[in-house]
Amino acid sequence: MLGWSINLFRIRGILLAIHFSFFLLLGINAYSGWTDAGWRGLWWDTAILMAFFVCVVLHELGHCFTAMHFGIGVRRILLMPIGGMAEFDDIPRQPTRELLITLAGPAVNFVIAALLWVVLPRAGNGHPDAMTAGNFGRMLMQWNLAMGLFNLLPAFPMDGGRILRALLASRLPYLRATFWAATVGKVICVIGAIVGAFQQPLLLALFGFIFIVGEMEYRAAVRREREDAHWRAALARFNRVEPTAEEPPLLRP
């Protein structure tokens, strides 16, 4: 289902793609703006939505550029109605690297919010719902703060969940750390979904998606662990075979 997307362009070799469901969000948002204030509301709401997703892309690029610094390939950034997702060739098992890669995303949002706080005028700019540049900037500042803080929730595989996994992996085996991070994330997703069911239906869909993706990533980690164990066992068996004269013991420790 994640393959239902359109490729846009590349940023330093990273493909930026947009999921087809994003156009549904764009249409609903434009219709809401039109019903509120006609053409002006349509363009205003569309501009706000696009600016928000530019910040989402910058957030994901923070992850991607840090991962590339450590030699990890990045396939693409996929934009969806609930946000963005960077697809890496591999997830580092070194806790420090995963921690730095993860923190880079929210850090971008906090830097954007700080810059907007510096450049925006301190005085009020008329009615808070007025379609002005000042209100536009303040809205972006608030959204970047909210985006950065929300992503720090320990709901694996969100950024906060990955930070928890990295901290646990410094003391526990990697798979065990992933299990506990995913378990904590599931509890938070269930709580968030219950709150969303009564307050905001979008949260219900968001936490449901996070729950499913977290379980998928944990199962992928289990598969990788089993494959690694299989190859380690095969290598150990190979090293126990006595080499012939033509085959020197290159694999022996």
d(CA 215, CA 190): 13
- Eight-state DSSP code of residue 242: P
Q: Specify the long-range contacts of residues 221-227, CB closer than 8 Å, at least 24 apart.
A: 221/174, 221/175, 221/178, 222/175, 225/174, 225/175
Active site residue 60: yes
Residue pair 65/88 in contact by the 8 Å Cβ criterion: no
Contacts of 161 (CB under 8 A, 6+ apart): 153, 154, 155, 181, 182, 184, 185, 214
Contacts of 220 (CB under 8 A, 6+ apart): none
Contacts of 10 (CB under 8 A, 6+ apart): 16
The β-bridge relationship of strands 74-80 and 14-19 is parallel
- Eight-state DSSP code of residue 172: S
The one catalytic residue among 60, 98, 215, 247: 60
Give catalytic residues, as residue numbers.
60
